[in-house]
Amino acid sequence: MSRRVIISGNWKMYNTTAEAKELVEGLLAGVKDLGEKEMLIFPPSIHLKEVVAQCEGSKIQVGAQNMYFKEEGAFTGEISPTMVKDAGADYILIAHSERRHVFGETDELINDKVKAAFLYDLKPVLCIGELLEDYEAGKSKEVCRNQLVEDLKGISAEQMKQMVIAYEPVWAIGTGKVATPEIAESIHMSIREVLKELYSEEIAELVPVLYGGSVKPDNAAGLLVKPNIDGVLVGGACLKADSFLGIANA
């Protein structure tokens, strides 16, 4: 079975309005050549509406980097799933490692966000991944397994068919230390094992599992060639159109 291949970019807290516009212009110029590959970008939410409008009619899909799980209320500083939808985004990044480790998001909160994504018709890209100490202790697979079990509680098989998982070892994010394609492939296979255990073989085979962590134009091909790596989630290298397109074309 051939799975979707998704080249995604998380802008994090970068880009002014003018920079965002210029970056999207650059991507639009190159995205036509991507063939079957999908491109998905996560701008800061303040730019969502403009980026969605700029990408309309193109192959570029747009998502928000984060949201709260309630529809509305006294939650200063947060944005709601309905606001993300209203801005025209289709995807939502959930549980990026910076949300887990800088902002202290728990698996319980993450699970609420995954449920909210489906409730409000947003497609979640759920990030999982282990810390350096877990990696050094040989606990990468165990940590990812636990995160999947906790974060996917109450998510149905039908909903899982819309899900994208991103494996991002925390020790590889923004550090220049990319996981070797062999390490990443091995974890991706174990993620599929967990999906099979929690759901079914069909779902384990269907759900795209992306790799993230120091992906660059010169290491992307080695990762993307692996049978269980269905795309990438790029941070630093997605902020310039040529380097993100270089990854997409790898």
The footprint of ligand PGA (CB under 6 A) covers 10, 168, 173-174, 212-215, 233-237
Which residue's beta carbon is nearest to the bound ligand PGA?
235
Q: Which of 38, 168, 185, 188 is catalytic?
A: 168
Catalytic residue, from 96, 105, 130, 185: name it.
Answer: 96
Name the residue among 91, 83, 37 with its Cα closest to residue 62: 91
Q: Which is nearer to ligand PGA, 10 or 147 (CB)?
A: 10
Phi, psi of 177, deg, nearest 5: -95, 90
Smallest gap from residue 91 Cβ to ligand PGA (A): 14
Active site residue 168: yes
- For residue 113, the minimal CB distance to ligand PGA (Å) is 17
Cα-Cα-Cα-Cα dihedral sign, residues 81, 61, 52, 241:
positive
SS3 206: helix
Burial 77-114 (b: 16+ CB within 10 A, else e): eebbbbbbbebebebbbbbbbbbbeeeebebebbbbbb
Q: Which helix (H) or strand (E) holds 60?
A: strand 60-64
- Residue 22: CB minimum distance to ligand PGA, A: 20
In 3D space, the residue among 111, 60, 110, 113 whose CA is nearest the CA of residue 90 turns out to be 60
Q: Which is nearer to ligand PGA, 151 or 168 (CB)?
A: 168
Give the integer Cα–Cα distance in Å for 67 and 71. 10
CB nearer ligand PGA, residue 223 or residue 233: 233
User: Can you read off the two tokens belonging to residue 149?
Assistant: 């079990």
The least CB distance from residue 47 to ligand PGA, in Å, is 17
CB of 234 to ligand PGA, least distance (A): 5
Residue 25 bears catalytic tag: no
What is the Cα–Cα distance from 223 to 238, expressed in whole angstroms?
16
Q: Which is nearer to ligand PGA, 18 or 102 (CB)?
A: 102
CB nearer ligand PGA, residue 117 or residue 215: 215
Just list the catalytic residues.
96, 168
